[in-house]
Structure 1
Amino acid sequence: MQSSFEVLRKLLLMQGQRETVSMVHHTGVTVATGIGSPASHAASSYLQPPPLVFLVDVGVVHFTPLVQPQIQQPFKLVEKVVRNVFQFRRKHCHKGVEKLFPEACRAELTQEMMQQADVDPILRPTELTIPHIRALADAYASLCRREPGLFGYEFREELRLKRLGAGYSPAADALRDTSGCTAPC
């Protein structure tokens, strides 16, 4: 009985594949050429496929927190701003900033926040720098101080209440009362 290596070698020699045969002999790698030809089909029925090999690069990263953070705002506030800004990564950053505010005041407060932060509203979130994020967080904190209930606003809750029904909802009224829009927008 012949080994699969010998069968492959004979089939490849019959096809005139001398270079491949010598490579198979020296490396011990099973190679089949001429896919679709009767000889390669016969060779493939005798051979097992070579095992898959994966190359993996590994690295270790160590993060050391700064003694003095670059953004001097509470973590929850910074997290909320960053989460909303990066929610729409491929859109302009003002689309994410809009979601920080109730629908009734959204346009005005978004424009005010972007102007106060001096950030170009058509930048994409991935183009924002740490100073941009700091300015946005500072502007949002100033709006939250002016409108006390604004920080507690979550646009997903407003969407959920809209889906529940367009009729009267005491929960929707309570949300509107604490949303931070005390003045008509």
Structure 2
Amino acid sequence: MSSLYTRSKEFTRNRKSQSDSPPASPSPTAKTLRSGGSNPTSSDSYGDRASARARREAREARLASLTSRVEEDSNRDYKKLYESALTENQKLKSKLQEAQLELADIKSKLEKMAQQKQEKTSDRTSMLEMEKRERRALERKMSEMEEEMKVLTELKSDNQRLKDENGALIRVISKLSK
């Protein structure tokens, strides 16, 4: 892998140096091809073609290795992403289950509280009804006792009147009998 890295460094250096330099005059083979004549340096054109072919093959090899490395990296990244997403999903599922259990627990507690409240209210209403009945009964007794008190006061006043009359009659009889 380090050899690929050094090659790519050299390649970028070579490309920079070639692109930074001013355009060179056409090679002798290019001149001969344009002019159509033969030149004694035909071996140079073969060497140029061979070096161009070698450069092209080297470039293709570098591109192939880079694409395979990128594919491996992307596959690794996808695998890591998949694994991390899977673990996160599992954590979220466990949290969801915990939340659902907690929700069910809270619902059951709420239902119990509602039942207790309903029982308390029904107990309260029954207690209220009983208290109302007792109050009515006590009010009735009280009104009866008030009537009895009235009757008793009337009886006392009648009794006192009768006593007074009786005393007066006794005096009259005693005077008559003397």
TM bucket normalised to smaller: under 0.3
Ranked by relative contact order (alpha carbons within 8 Å, sequence separation 6 or more), the top structure is 1
The TM-score normalised by the length of structure 1 is 0.18
The TM-score normalised by the length of structure 2 is 0.18
